[in-house]
Amino acid sequence: MADRAGHQTGRLTPRLALAALVLGWACSAGAASLTLRVRTPAGTPVEDAAVVLDPVNGTPPQSHGRATIEQRDRDFVPYLTIVQKGTAVDFPNRDPFKHHVYSFSPAKVFEIKLYAGKPANPVVFDQPGEVALGCNIHDWMEAHVLVVDTPWFAKTGADGVARIDRVPPGAYRLRLWHPRQKGAAADIEVDLRRASRHLDLKLEVAPRVIVKKPPLDAGGY
Partner 1 sequence: MILFRTLERRIAVVFVGLLVVVMLLMLLIVARSGEAIIATESERQLSAGARNVSNMIDRDRRQLELAASVLSGDFSFREAIATQDRATVLSVLRNHGSRIGARVMMVLSLSGEVIVDTQRPGKPARPFPFSDLLRAAESSGRSGDVALMEDGLLYEIVVVPILAPIRTAWVVMGFPVEDAWASEVARGSGLDVSVVATGGVRASSLSPTLRSALEKQQSTALSEQPRQLTLDGRNYHAVALPFGPQARVLLLHSLEHSEAVFRELEHALEIIAGAGIALFVIGSFGLARRIAGPVKALARAAQRIEVGDYSEAVAVTAPDEIGQLAAGFESMRTGIASRENKIMRLAYEDTLTGLPNRTRLAERLAGLDPEAAAMVAVLGLDRFAPINDALGHPVGDRLLQQVGARLAGVMPPRGMLARLWGDEFAFVVEGVDELSARDFATRLLAALREPIELDGQKLDVGGSLGIAFRPADGRDMDALLRRAEVAMYSAKRRQSGYALAGEVGEGPPPEELSMIGEMRQALDRREFVLHYQPKLALGSNRVVGAEALLRWQHPERGLMPPGRFIPFAEQTGFIREITPWLLGEVAAQAANWRERGISVVLAANLSARDLLNPDLVVLMRELLAAHELPPAALCLEITESALMEDPTLALSHLAELAAIGLKLSIDDYGAGQASLSYVKSLPVHELKIDQSFIGSLTTSPKDAAIVRSTITLGHALGLTVVAEGIESEADLNWLAAAGCDIGQGYFIARPMTASAFCDWISGRAAAPAV
User: Closest CB to partner 1 among 16 and 210?
Assistant: 210
* 3-state secondary structure at position 147: strand
State the Cα–Cα distance between residues 41 and 15, nearest whole angstrom: 37
Q: Using CB under 8 A, which residues numbered 90 to 149 contact partner 1?
A: 100, 102-105, 109, 132-136, 139-142, 144
User: Closest CB to partner 1 among 39 and 144?
Assistant: 144
State the Cα–Cα distance between residues 176 and 20, nearest whole angstrom: 26
State the Cα–Cα distance between residues 131 and 137, nearest whole angstrom: 18
Measured from the CB of residue 88, what is the shortest distance to partner 1 in angstroms? 22
Q: Are 16 and 170 in contact (CB under 8 A)?
A: no
User: Closest CB to partner 1 among 7 and 182?
Assistant: 182
Expressed in angstroms, the distance from the first to the final Cα of the chain is 26
User: Closest CB to partner 1 among 134 and 168?
Assistant: 134
The only residue of 61, 157, 168, 179 in contact with partner 1, by rule CB under 8 A? 179
User: Using CB under 8 A as the criterion, which residues of the chain lie in contact with partner 1 when the complex forms?
Assistant: 100, 102-105, 109, 132-136, 139-142, 144, 179
